Structure 1
């Protein structure tokens, strides 16, 4: 479904099928890269499923989809600017498709919003960042797999460095007034997410 969704999306802006295939191959290559365990095509599939459930609540579905496909396209655990680089590549590819600049800028802003997951004045952005965090509110077994995959992505760091850093990330989330900004995701995942974060924190 992921590939078909991307192809259908891009085909709304170009009839050049070789370009459509080329752009999908690039997405597939990035998300299947060596060292990726969580930020993979599987993550995109899960995110797409979350968003499909709330599609009627979203104002700009096309922009949301572009954000979905490009928000983690660049991911290097040694670099602090993955969101900026991902937004940059998204903008480049969307300009290539001659997509209106208003949509491009909205997409780039949504990608950058995944860096901090703070409240946005744009409700579509809040729905996207909430969907991106939905893994935190899954049952403990699924959350534990997520946490394990994140640890594998940071395998370059020994526990002595990783654990304090991971604790800071968890504490950042736990210090938020609420993890999920929209009523839909708050009601569905907030309680379990807080419980999961506290449990992982206690295990480090």
Structure 2
């Protein structure tokens, strides 16, 4: 799917000014193309939007919810600073509000988009339907990717943190990944649990063994 077309469709649904938001879209494309990004790049954006599209029919109740999930995908890693990683989600949410609010995006949609972006800091979502559940699962689709793509993802994340010593990286990365296996389910929507859960648990277990 063409990312620019999906952006325009989402903006129209939330009654934003498509033409006025072209510079915002172009700024986001520039951000997603920054050279320091290994995994968190345009390919990741495309994968999140594609995964959300897979879940749309089963887990979203309206075009408005779809638009909110799409806009959250575009903004959720817009600020990506490895040296200050704990603040990226808040800053990305702030960017979304500042960029969208002057261009006619309705307040309820804007609030949902910024909440979705901030939720990506912890991936702690309880809903099983709606934009929160779909965005959560789409952002984590990569955990269930085919083995070669998952391994590429792991290597790309390591490249982003190339300055971190091996032992420290292994400890920190394990602390991020292991809790997903401790949950009853990695995913929240019924479709993702059915289609992605087994592969995600296999991939996560394999990567945690490597990190050990």
- State the TM bucket, normalised to the shorter chain: over 0.9
Shift of 1:86: 0.6
1:168 Cα deviation after fit: 1.0
For residues 177 and 3 of structure 2, the distance between their equivalents in structure 1, rounded to whole angstroms, comes to 30
Matched, 1:138 2:140: no
Does residue 179 of the first structure (1) align with residue 189 of the second (2)?
Answer: no
SS of equivalent to 1:179: coil
SS at match of 1:191: helix
Indicate the residue corresponding to 1:66 in structure 2. Answer: 71
**TM-score if structure 2 supplies the norm length?**
0.89
Following TM superposition, by how much is the alpha carbon of 1:177 offset from its aligned partner in structure 2, in angstroms? Answer: 2.0
Which of 112, 116, 120 is the aligned partner of 2:122?
116
RMSD: 1.6
Match of 2:162 in 1: 155
Partner of 1:13: 16
**CA-CA distance at 1:160 after TM superposition:** 2.4
CA contact (8 A) 1:37 1:149 kept: yes
CA distance in 2 between partners of 1:89 and 1:96 (Å): 12
Contact 2:10 2:66 in 1 (8 A): no
1:33 to 2:34 alignment: yes
Equivalent residue for 2:25?
24
Deviation, structure 1 residue 115: 1.4
TM-score with structure 1 setting the length: 0.92
Gaps of at least 5 residues in structure 1 are: none
Aligned to 1:50: 51
Equivalent position SS for 1:81? helix
SS at match of 1:178: coil
How far the C-alpha of 1:94 sits from its partner, in A, is 1.3
Name the CA distance, whole Å, in 2 between partners of 1:9 and 1:194: 32
Cα distance in 2 for residues equivalent to 1:133 and 1:54: 13
Higher relative contact order (CA 8 A, sep 6+): 2
Distance in structure 2 (CA, Å) of the matches to 1:188 and 1:151: 27
Report the Cα offset of residue 66 of structure 1: 1.0
In the TM superposition, what whole-angstrom CA distance separates every residue of 1:86-134 from its partner, at most 9, and x where no partner exists? 1110011110212121111111111111111123346320111011101
